Amino acid sequence: MHEKRLEYLIRLRKEKNILIIVLLTIFAMIGEIVFGYLTQSMSLLAEGYHMGMHVVTLGLTYIVYVISRKLKDSPLFENGTDKIGVLAGYTSALMLTFAGIHIFIESAERFLFPEQIKFTEAIYAAIFALIINFICVAIMEGKFQRHKHKKYKNKDYNYLAAYLHILSDVLISILTIFALFFGKMFNCIHLDALTGIIGAILIIIWAFKLIKNTVKILIDMKTT
Calculate mean pLDDT across residues 132-152: 65
Name the residue ranges covered by the structural domains of the chain. Answer: 2-71+80-217
Specify the long-range contacts of residues 190-195, CB closer than 8 Å, at least 24 apart.
190/111, 190/114, 192/41, 192/42, 192/43, 192/110, 192/114, 192/117, 193/42, 193/43, 193/107, 193/108, 193/110, 193/111, 193/114, 194/107, 194/111, 195/43
| Residue 152 predicted with pLDDT over 60 | no
The class that CATH gives domain 2-71+80-217 is mainly alpha
Helix (H, G, I), strand (E, B) or coil at 32: helix
Residue pLDDT, tens place only, 67-125: 777 776 666 666 666 677 677 778 877 877 887 888 788 888 878 887 777 788 778 88
pTM of the model as a whole:
0.66
Count CA atoms closer than 13 A to 74's CA, side-chain side.
10
pLDDT at res. 2: 60
